[in-house]
Amino acid sequence: MLFLIAWGLIFLGFLGILLPILPGVIFLLAGLYLLSLESLWLNRQLDKIGDRYPRVGKRLNDARARAERILRRVMREG
């Protein structure tokens, strides 16, 4: 279930990059964060990116918070 939600957010992120209506980067980062819960390698890579690029790190933290809220809501309903 988590895997499907993560890929759905990544898909929305790519749509958001193409369409000005959606906040693409946030959805993309939230999806990557959810995938990083399953992948230690991806988690380390996201941390390295956040450390190297502070502006991206801030957005990554925002995306992590949003992903955690989404995950809690889905797990509570499902």
Domain segments of the chain as ranges: 2-77
Residue 78: per-residue pLDDT: 61
Sign of CA dihedral 47, 48, 54, 57: negative
Average pLDDT over residues 59-72: 82
Q: What is the mean pLDDT of the chain?
A: 85
In this prediction, residue 51 carries a pLDDT of 93
User: What share of the chain has pLDDT > 90, as a percent?
Assistant: 10
pLDDT in tens, 29-65: 888 888 888 888 988 988 898 899 999 889 888 878 8
Six token digits for residue 67: 């992903």
State mean pLDDT over 1-15. Answer: 87
